[in-house]
Chains A and B, each alone.
Chain A
């Protein structure tokens, strides 16, 4: 099983700041099959980034993903008040098994 470790656990920032969220895998992720989600209480998770760096439809360009192998990053440029949420990375391995990271909370 591929274990994803996200850091930091919590990020305390203000609107207008930039956020850098890290996701490290216990083994290389093949074909960059890594995604990022935003999750707010009482709502469904929202796909932000897929394939490590491609933005999902309708996602603002202040969200960007990068990385390969075992180290991946989600960057949020100029935080909007609507961006305060929990962010999860997620991978799919060669056996088609999916795992999520434990999440990073971006709070004001």
Chain B
């Protein structure tokens, strides 16, 4: 199972951050598969952003709930992160991750993509 993040590396303040995760080696729509986004700001720890299940159900961290949307395209085997009204505090390495059995942890991770919010 391989996950690869892609998207713009630089986003201007107040704009929308968008990152794509392309999954290979498994179908994101297969029963009991669970996918998520996690980020790490410079010098900080890991922060869960949200999850999307094989069913399309989503869950979000309350700290970003009003700004975040996670969606998926089964035909492309991709899932997406969209974060609106970004500030410098959203500068981070964004990881996508997944597990094919449980929603409670992530066995497989992408290498991460650094997104910088700056004018």
Contacts and interface: CB of A to CB of B under 8 A. Distances in A.
Contacts, number: 63
DSSP class of B's interface residues: helix, strand, loop or mixed?
A: loop
Interface residues on B, range: 20 to 34
B112 A96 contact: no
Contact of B95 (A33, A45, A101): A45
A50 B46 contact: no
B103 A47 contact: no
A57 to B, nearest CB: 8
B111 A88 contact: no
Contact of A90 (B59, B102, B105, B111): B105
Contacts of A39: 46
B115 to A, nearest CB: 16
Closest 8 CB pairs of A and B: A44-B109, A92-B104, A35-B105, A98-B48, A33-B104, A100-B46, A103-B45, A96-B59
Interface of B: 36, 38, 45-48, 51, 59, 61-62, 95, 97, 102-107, 109-112
27 contacts: A33-B104, A33-B105, A35-B104, A44-B95, A44-B109, A45-B38, A45-B95, A45-B97, A45-B109, A46-B109, A50-B104, A50-B105, A56-B107, A88-B46, A90-B48, A91-B104, A95-B59, A96-B51, A96-B103, A97-B48, A97-B61, A98-B36, A98-B48, A100-B47, A101-B45, A102-B45, A103-B46
